[in-house]
Structures are given as C-alpha cells and as structure tokens.
Structure 1
C-alpha cells in the first residue's frame, strides 16, 4: 500500500520482459507473476527507495549433481501452456549448468531492458521522488515521544529508520498536534519526504488485505509475514498524526543515546536499578561477570516516597562497585540509585547462568538468530549438540538448556543415517529425553521456544495442550502477525513489563494449561497488526507457561520471542527466563 503505482507497473514490466527474453531463447518452463508478493518491506526494500526488486529462482539440483524429472511427476499447473508460462518444460535431465544459463539469461535481459529504457527509468525515478516530497493527506507525520519506557531501544528504532534514509526531526519547543501537546525534544517523522513511504510502512499498523482463491476459501498464503510494525515489535511508543501541524524543529544528522546516571551518597548499603529496558539486562550481565551479588526483588517495596516494583535489581555495595557502575553508564542508559539500608523483602538471588543452546545438525535459522541476540546482550552460552545430550550428566555443565524453534521430530531423530557422515546423523533419541528429564529433576531449567514446546509437552507428558494443533487453516490462521498478550507481572518471567505487551506470532502453539502457571495469555481481542482468522481459539489461552518439574522447571515460550532479532520488546521474556531458571 505504500509503494508508488509507477513502481508496481515497472516490476510487472521487467518481469514479463525477462520471461519473454528467456522464452525467445527457447528456454522452457519460465513462469512469471507467481508465488511471491512484496507485502513486507523486509523483502521489498528497493520498492520504497525508487527501485524495483525482481526475485528469480530456478529449480534446484542435488547440490551439484544432475537430476532427472519425468513429465508426469510434475505439478499439473505447469504441464499446460498458460498466460504466465506459455512454454512448459517437458521434463528430462536438469543440471547445474541449466541453472547458471537460465540465471545468466535473466540478468542479461534485465540489463538489456535498463539500457534500452534508461531515460524512462530515470524519468520515473524523478517522478516517484517528486511525488514523495510533495505528498499531502493523512497521515501527516508520526511522533516519537522522547519519554519512553526503553529509550535505548527507541533510539535503535530511529536509527533503523535513518539507515533506510528516513529524515527525523527534533522539536525545539513544545507544540500541539491532533489535539495533544508535546514537549520540546519530541521526535517527528514527516511523511512528505523522499522515503516517507518506507517510514509509514514500518511505523503504521498493518491491515492485510482479504485475498482468497475463491469465495469461502481460506486466506491466500502470503509469501512472508504480514505484520511488521516496528514500534509494536520494539516496544516503542509512537503516535500517528493525521492533520498538519506547526512546530519549530531541526533535522537530526545523528541520534545518540544519553549517558546513564549513578545517584549515590555516603555509606550506602547498595544500589537499585530498573528492569524495564534491555540495557538494564546488559548491566546485570556485566555485574554478574565481575562477581557481584545481585538480587531481584520478589515484591514491591518503598524507600522514602519512592515505590519500587517486583523485579527491581538490587546489588550489594563493595569496594570498586561505584567505579564499575560509572563505567557501565558510559554506554548504557541505566540509572543506579543508592540505598542507605537493605530492604527487608523476599528476593531471588541471581547467578551468572551456565546456559546451553541446543544446536541440531539439521540447520535452524532460529538457532542462529538466538545466538546473535544472546551475543548482542552479552549472555555467555555454549552450543549443546546431540552427542552432548546423549552423553548425559548435563547438570555438571548447565543450569539452563534452551531449545530454539525446532520441531520435536527433528530434535528426536535429526538427519537420517546415510544422507550425511555418521557423526552428523540422528537426534537426541530416547536416551537424550531421559538425560534432559534427569537434568530438570536435579534442578535444571528447560526453556522451549515456539514449536519446540511440542517436545516438552509430548516427551514429559505435561498437562498442557496446543489447542490449535489440529485446527484447519480455514478456521485458524495467523500468517506472521503482531498480537496482544496480558502478563502476570508478579511472575519473574514478566518482571519489568506492563500488563499488556505486543508479541509476534508465527506458526506458534496456543496453550491450554492444566498444570503450571500461565505468565502471558491472550485477551478477547488480540490482533494489533497483520491478519488473524479464528480469534476465538486464542481467548484466555496462554502464550508463556512456567511448569515446576520436581526440583527444576520447564518454561514454554509459545511464540518467536526473538523474531529475526527485531522483536526487542519481547527479548526480556527470554532474558528473564534464563536468569529465573538459574536463580536461587
């Protein structure tokens, strides 16, 4: 909806031109306008910056080994001539050389088109950007308040916009917009700018169109996700302003994070700091690595006129702490406040978690994203392979084991023998299940992400059910959307969160809980951005569950909590689970 109509036509024109050139060369089996869409800007960045994106894919081979495909083995839709593929492939031998020659011809066709129509392409590039900078209508702008629960993440979001060429202004005085007053220092993103469409696509809530193959059919499956609202994913307050307004502002060349603060005094017992930001967690990691004793408050407490929430971080003073805190605030926006006396409250004593991240030889992108997020927020971890789990004695090395988004069958069976060298074949097997169960019984914590919950539910016979597992797509379908959950903020996994939070939902379980404690559940109206069919299946069901298991615990996080490293607003559900799993 935010891509200029000229570009939409140019994409179609270039695609059919390439197909025509390949067909003219006698290359059969070339189809265009099929399979892919450009809804998400993650796969259509060029379209928001005056250019086009053409995705070409060729049938694969067995790595570099030729394959033979019989005509009657092919899909019916490619056997007969059609508007999109007038010259079907008749089957036969297909080689790596064929792939290279088809792709080479496609690239040559694209360059031929650009050379022949260079004035046309340049003229339309000018027209597209002229329309962008003279844009009128609503919304007029997006406002990003300077007062945020997690200012560091808000600045990260704005820097993502700036990396995409978006212009961001900062107000020099207070102003009014759509009936609300905003203070000096407020950030403003005007829509009338070269890449205003890109900013709008990332900042607004998505309403995916109702596209169906025929009346009464389920929603046509999108190529990628349909909800990508960055303020929701990152937990940043953003306001869409419909009407024009006036404000004295200046264009920002860079957006820097402010320094944190240490508020101290003489003879302090220790210091407290918050739990509402990702920087707070990085500070915790750094202090635990230095050997300091750190606690989470398990209840609210008051000191003077100030009330501190559950989850407030408390660190006991000792020599060198003040120096370390002042070093931390140089790059983290954290506020440490001195405490005169020790608060008489219940606490969790934290320790540096010995974290193991399961790594299957059946490659998982989610495992890679999980590693990346853990590293960015300074968590120490070790990769745990099938052989390590089969070996047993896991408590000797780990307090917490984390299973990324990976199917139960893959965890159990891995890659079949004979298809890869022996050392890379198989999964954890029944002996691995026995060893993980022993690990939890002895006080360890198992955390599962998204579809990996099936492993814990099935193998440990939990009284928890994925209530959408057998529901057909016509009745329940969430093709990568942003939903709302309600949090139990008294539980350590939800420390630092408000009552409701936006989460990303994709191929996710929905838990009916008959044992354990629900930490996050779905309200009656949960869709925030994207598409949702079958909202009734979500109501009052759980997204996060904490299950005691003898001396240990199993934590089921039923959504991609670290989705493509974009969902900064839910990272702390994972971080809290790790610390809670290892806490005393």
Structure 2
C-alpha cells in the first residue's frame, strides 16, 4: 500500500515537473546564440520559424497559425498570444470581433454587450520591408516578452487582449540576413547593396499591394485582417525615422482621406498619445509626429493604410537603427521642442538594442491601451461600421475639395451676393469674423443637389467585353472583406436591363470607405508649401481608383435598389465559368478586349496550335473588333479552348465560316526583360505579369546588352521606367552611380553578371543596332528617354522658355502631377492599341509627354498612339496645371531601321493594377506575318 502511494506521489511530481518544464520559454539567446538587439547579429527566417514553433510548443499563451505559403514557398506564421483561458475561446472572440466590425443587424445595446464580453484584437507585424531589420527582430523579442513575463501589466494585457503577431515577409528576412551575415568579420557586415529584391517579384512594393492583393503574402495577411479577425488596432513596424529623430509615428500629417469615419482619425490620435506618453515616461526621446514627418493617411494600398478604409486604427512607426551601429546626426531645427517633436533626441551613437527597446515599449503602449479601453475600441469599430451602413442607406453628400470649390464658385457667380466683412491680415489663415461667412444657401446649392450625392451601390454588368478582368476586380474587393451580391436572374434598375450573373456592390455596409475608394475618384487637395510655392508631394499616389485602372464597366446607382440578388459568402473568390458559343466548324474567335485571351493564345501557341489576328475584325460579325484572335478548328484547339474558357471566364465565339477579311499569323517572340543588380520593382511586376499571362521571357542585365548580338537572341526587349538614363549632362549621374555601386571584386561571383548600368556610350548603340536589324523595343515611363538618345523628331511637351531664352521643364508651381489617373485618347484600330476603346484611363506619375514634329507625323517617322485631347484629363488624384497636357502625345511608335520603338509615357503596367492598359504591352509581344 505504501509503495502504491509513493508511486502515485512520484507520478504526480513527475507530471508537475513536466508541466513546469513545458512552460520554460527558451530565451532568444538560448536559441539564436545572441540576444535580440546585439550589434552585428541578425536571425534568418529559418531560425525564427524554428523559434516560433519552439515557443508555441512550450507556452500555453500561444496558438501558432500557418496563414499560407509565400511566393518562394515558405510558411508564413502568425502567433496568436493571449491568456490560456482566452485561447480556449478564440472562436467566440473572433466571432465577436467580426460581428462588431461588420455592424449588421445590431443595436447599440447589443453592441455594448458584445464589446463588454469581447477582447480587444491587436495586430502587430514586422519585417514587411526586410532591410528594415528592426521590424523582424522586435517581433521575435515581443514573442519572448509576452510569453515569459509575469508582471501585472503583461498579465493584464494577456487577460484583456487577443494579440496577432504576424511575420509579414519570411522570404525577405532569409535573403537579407544571409546577405548581412555572409561576412565573417562582424565589423565589416553591411546591409548595403542587396543583390535582389527582398520579395520575389516586387520588393518594397509589397507595401503597395493591399487593395488588389496580387502577391501571396499580401493575400495571406489580407485574409486575416479583413475576413478572419478584423482587429480593432493594427500596428505596422517600419524604418527609418527622419534624420535627427528616433522615430516617426502617429498622428500623421494632413491630408487624410475624406472617406474616413472621424472616429478612425481620432482613434489614431488617441493611440499616438499613448505611445509618445510611454516613451516620454521612460525617458526615451526622439518621437516625431504630425508635420515632423512625411507620413499621411491619404493613400490606400499599404498594409497599414488599407486598414484605415476598414475602420481599424492603423498605426505606423518608422524607427532608426539596425545591426550596425549608426549615428543620430545633428539636425539643428530638430532640437527645438514643438508640437511635432515635444522631446527631441540629441546627436549620439545609436545601437540596435535601443531600437528594439523602443519598439517593445511602443508595442506595450498599444497593448496596454487596448487592455484598458478594449470595450471602447470594440464598440467604436461597431459605431464606425454602423455609421457607414447608415450613410449608404440614405442620401448622403461627401465633402471634398471639389465640393468646396463648387460652393465658392456658386458664391462668386451670384450677382446678388452679400460679401461678408473680412480682415485681410487674418483671412490668409482662414479666420472669419463672428457673423461673417456665406449664407447657408450656397451650401444647400451644392450639398443637397440630387445628382451630387453618393451612390447607394454599383452594378458590374456580366455582359461587358472583359468580364474576366471585372471578376478580378470583384475578387480584389472580396479579398478585402467586402460583401458582394450577384444576380440570379436578369433584372432592371433605373430603366437599364442587366443580365444574370452581374455583380452588385452596395454601399450600406461597414467597409463603405473602401468601396467608395475603389469605385470613386480621389480628390486630392491642392497642397503647397505656401501660396504660390512648390507642391508638397503625397506620401505615395494621389489617385488610384481601381475600377478605372482595371477598365471595369460599372454603373453608379444613386437611389436605393433591389433585385434578384444573392449575398455571396464573405471572402469567397469568384470564378464564373466561360463558354464556347456557337457553331465552330471553321474555328474560334477570342476577343482582343479580354486580357485573359492572351493567356489562352499563349497556351495555344505553346501547344503548336495556329493562331491569327484579324486587323479589321470579322465582316459578318460586327461585334468582333479589330485585333481579335482567330483559331482554326482542330481537335487540339477545341480541347484547349474548352479548358481556357471554363477556367479563365472567357466567352469564345465559334465561327461556321472562315473569316474572309485579312489575317496575320501570330508567332511567339523571344522576349527579354531588363533588370538590374539590386532588382527593379517595375521589372519585377512585369516578370510576375509575364508568368501570370504565360509569356515566356528571359531577364537580361546591362552586361547582356553591352555584349551585343542582341538580335541573334531576342525579338523584343522591354525597358521599364528608370532603365534608360536621360541624355546630356545627366549622364554624369549614371557614372556617379557606378562609382557608388558595389565593386565586382567584393561581390559574390554569382551576382556579378547582374552588375552595371545602361550607358549612352556602350548600351545605347547596341540597342539601336538591335532595332535597326529588325528588333522591337518597348519603353515605359522614363525609359522613353531612348527616343532622345536616338534623336527621333520628338521633344518634351512640358517645358517653357525663361526670360533669358532658355528652355526648362515646367516648375512645380505651374505643373505638378504625382501618381494619378488620367484619360487619354487613342486609335484602337492600330496594332499597338488593339483591344482598347478610343478613350482609356492610364496611370500617370510625372510621366513623359511629347510633342511630335509635324513632318514626323506626315512622313510616318513617328506614329502617335495615345494623346491628350482635352485640357482636363484628370480622372482621379491631383493634377495641378493639367491644361499643359492638351495636345501632348502620351505614347508613340517610331520605325528604327527594320525594327520599331514603342514609347509609352504612362505606367501601363503599374504595380499590376493598371490592367486596363496591359494590352499596350501584350500587343507588342507577338510577331505578326501575313499568310
């Protein structure tokens, strides 16, 4: 009996010891061999993933979630951290977070009840921009701190919060760390001159992908943010802070986007106060905010910024620091305390550990705020969602600069107006004396005009020419958590008939700000440093309306409407089947208007099936446009097209008779795509596009071009923006860049073939020879500089003559167009523009515009492809001085010997978002021969 009791006692003791050991969290030093923040030390993702899995196995505060694979096939991990009791009820807390964020069918009383029951959900990420090494390493340290500490604050945070710690870029961490740590001597380690992009295709632009979600990592993150968890707070760690400070953080400078709920904006203010207060209390100076940095909340598409359009309090900090110690420089104007920087930092040597410590303090400030005000955060996201539902359910007029201008104009043009008293000295500051201002009737004229109210919804017809691309647009909305409806039968709204399968997006839903932002134009204010002074550049783009960029046909519906609509499951991607229609005894026709037709054609060509293009369409088929593809009937063609139609949402037309109009046979070309050492993001985007659309191609580098014999290897070369340098004195900049570039002798041998730059003396002659011998060159953006190197009869249209008779580019005070959407006209019967309408929207970012010599057009030495035929081409964004664009040429083709140069000033493939102009590239990637 005694032995039995003793045995039981020993067994219980052993279980207790095992439980104690299981809760022993390995320290970073035990796992990595160094402390997080040690100088000259970085962890790889392989090591980090192993650590996360080890911590998750040892801690009852962690649930490890694999949110998907990266573009390079690594597992992207999210650690859900909370108390053991909360982890047992995660499904319930997720349900509460979703219900409150979507705000549907809830009363305020019910929302308060859920908010009191729920836990604040806080997202913290790191590593999106992998060379910003503080981000990944603060994430590791945060995992350790939250799973090992037992102080009252940590325990309160674990009890009150659900924390989503997410690695934003596993591939990048592996690339950057291996590059940095390759040097055995610690003091010689540098992050500079990384040989390739730290995301497989798009590098830094991985933070510009979040409203379209092309990349796998973006999709993984987006599903957690917008479909699964919908956190009330998301915190996005970045680098680097402005010179003379330690970090930039919330709140941010104006303008913020006008579609935001004010609670989101003031929510950022509240969290920003908690963050800076904590640093100040811990004697950590150097936090700058508001006008102390360039960061604003205007742009959509970033990891942080897209959350703003979903009523989340999205936070960004940009902190200095890295594994190699650095100096905080002396910037005298930063040393005077002000509202931007209340507690300046003094010049000093700065170490990695200091940045990690700051980051942990900032994380704890955010988590502590969430723990103390969780019920308020939960209720407020409901309130914002409810506000959106209410605004989308009634007549609502949004304020924006153009509306203010309209009010001013109405007052100005009223012959019976009464001018209020003014004080000229104060008026420049917007001061209006008591009793002043305009009569309210001028507000009513604009803000109650029926035609100016916001739409109740949008209808995307299923019978539009490129429905497959419209479906891609719908899927971009689906990935961001938007509720989509689809017609189950034909229906009529506002006197217009729509077919079954059409999509409907109503604005009476919680994420209304994002819906409006994707369909409606952005109206960026005229933002100058001072009246008559230079413009203040937007943080990123000024305009990006995705429906415009993707050339989606849709109708804005101003009144409430209904029909035979079914609500689609949230987050469910759409892939409607296409069809092969009609008798196909002679063959098949694929529309040139449909981007996915190019995938089908490339698959046909790769399988040896003949394909033709129809320069004049088909006489007996008036709906068949110029440039459509014709595929002669065969068993192989039928099999491939049946598959393509089904999988690519294509409508393929069968023909009973072979077209009698002229045809040109399509052959694949040997395609080369320029890239450079370090990686070009625009090139990376096109590389991704080529893969998606099944164009075989080879990436080449400046050395490949300088080596010559290009015509023997390639038929077409694509140069993205920033590939071809400007002409003249600025060539010196290229050679200066070469001097700053890494030396071959210190670069690993495998990367040496990527080195070098395009130069006027070596590269341009080889490119010219390539064209003269029959090659095609496609240039985009600033690489249209090639036209000037070749001395073609074109010139910069955006110049003026100074008083001294010198020509110069228009100054920013007169003309300034940052990234925006403009409309151009074109001739869609030309080969280069087949598949486009006579007008189309383009993404324009300080893009080149040309004047062509009159004799050049007459002699055919330059053929205009796209031009501005109006003095107001702006569709979305900001275009100061846009009248200068009128009659300017945006794109042209010029014969060069036996070959051709295509020059596209606008960014026709921009971030794989400008899908409406993909065909301007794709059309040039086939060889055409009259049979």
TM over 0.5: same fold?
yes
Which structure carries more relative contact order (alpha carbon 8 Å, separation 6+)? 1
Spell out the pairing of 1:387-536 with structure 2 (5 A cutoff). Answer: 387-409=703-725, 413=735, 415-417=737-739, 419-422=741-744, 423=752, 425-429=755-759, 430-454=761-785, 456-468=786-798, 470-514=809-853, 515=856, 516-524=862-870, 525-536=872-883
CA distances 1:508-541 after superposition (whole Å, capped 9, x unpaired): 1112123411111112131111111112221111
Q: Provide the residue aligned with 2:464 in structure 1.
A: 148
**Deviating 4+ runs (over 6 angstroms):** 581-584
**Separation in 1 of the partners of 2:843 and 2:507?**
26
Distance 1:60 1:400, change over 3 A: farther
Take 1:490 and 1:184, find their aligned partners in 2: how far apart are those partners? 31
Which of 567, 575, 597 is residue 280 of structure 1 equivalent to?
A: 597
Whole-Å Cα distance in 2 between the matches of residues 346 and 548 of structure 1?
23
Deviation at 1:371? 0.9
Verify: 1:85 aligned to 2:307, yes or no.
no
TM-superposed deviation, 1:85 = 0.4
Mark the CA change 1:162 to 1:307 in structure 2 (over 3 Å): closer, same or farther.
Answer: closer
Q: 1:408 to 1:183 in 2, by over 3 A?
A: closer
Task: Please report how far the alpha carbon of residue 199 of structure 1 lies from its aligned counterpart in structure 2 after TM superposition.
Answer: 1.2
CA offset at residue 402 of structure 1? 0.5
> What's 1:549 paired with?
896
Give, in angstroms, the shift of residue 407 of structure 1.
4.8
**Which structure has the greater CA radius of gyration?**
2
Deviation at 1:45, TM superposition (A): 1.8
- Would you say 1:130 and 2:386 are equivalent positions? yes
Q: Give the structure with the higher percent helix.
A: 2
Q: How does 1:136-215 map onto structure 2 within 5 Å?
A: 136-138=394-396, 139-172=455-488, 177-178=493-494, 180-215=496-531
Matched ranges for 1:245-260 at <5 A: 245-253=561-569, 254=572, 255-260=574-579
Matches within 5 A, 1:28-67: 28-33=285-290, 34-43=293-302, 44-59=305-320, 64-67=323-326
Structure 1 residues 210 and 582, CA, compared in 2 at 3 Å: closer, same or farther? farther
Closer/same/farther in 2, CA of residues 243 and 389 from structure 1, 3 Å limit: same
Structure 2 equivalent of residue 570 of structure 1: 917
In the alignment, the residues of structure 2 paired with residue 164 and residue 565 of structure 1 have an alpha-carbon distance, to the nearest angstrom, of 17
The 8 Å contact of residues 171 and 247 in structure 1, kept in 2 or not, is answered as: yes
Structure 2, unmatched stretches of 5+, are 1-257, 397-454, 745-751, 800-808, 857-861
Distance in structure 2 (CA, Å) of the matches to 1:59 and 1:581: 54
> Among 279, 293, 297, which residue is 2:610 paired with?
293
Change in Cα spacing, 1:200 to 1:302, as seen in structure 2 (3 Å) is same
Aligned position for 1:560 = 907
Q: Residues of 1 paired with 2:389 and 2:623: CA distance? A: 48
- TM-score, normalised with respect to structure 2: 0.59
Contact 2:702-2:755 at 8 Å conserved across structures? no
- How large is the RMSD of aligned CA atoms in angstroms? 2.5
SS at match of 2:308: helix
How far apart are the structure 2 equivalents of 1:199 and 1:300? 37
Q: Deviations over 1:224-245 (max 9, x none)?
A: 1121212111111122222223
Whether the 8 Å contact between 1:466 and 1:509 is mirrored in structure 2 is: yes
Give the corresponding residue for 1:11. 268
Q: Is the Cα–Cα contact under 8 Å of residues 450 and 560 in structure 1 kept in the other structure?
A: yes
Select the residue among 552, 575, 597 that pairs with 1:236: 552
Q: 1:343 to 1:122 in 2, by over 3 A?
A: closer
Residue 24 of structure 1: which of 240, 264, 281 is its match?
A: 281
How far has the Cα of 1:212 moved from its partner? 3.4
Instruction: Return the alpha-carbon distance in structure 2 between the equivalents of residues 8 and 338 of structure 1.
Output: 55
Query: Which deviates more, 403-412 or 537-546?
Result: 403-412
Gaps of 5+ in 1: none
Q: Distance in 2 between matches of 1:134 and 1:308?
A: 45
- Distance of 1:18 and 1:520 partners within structure 2: 50
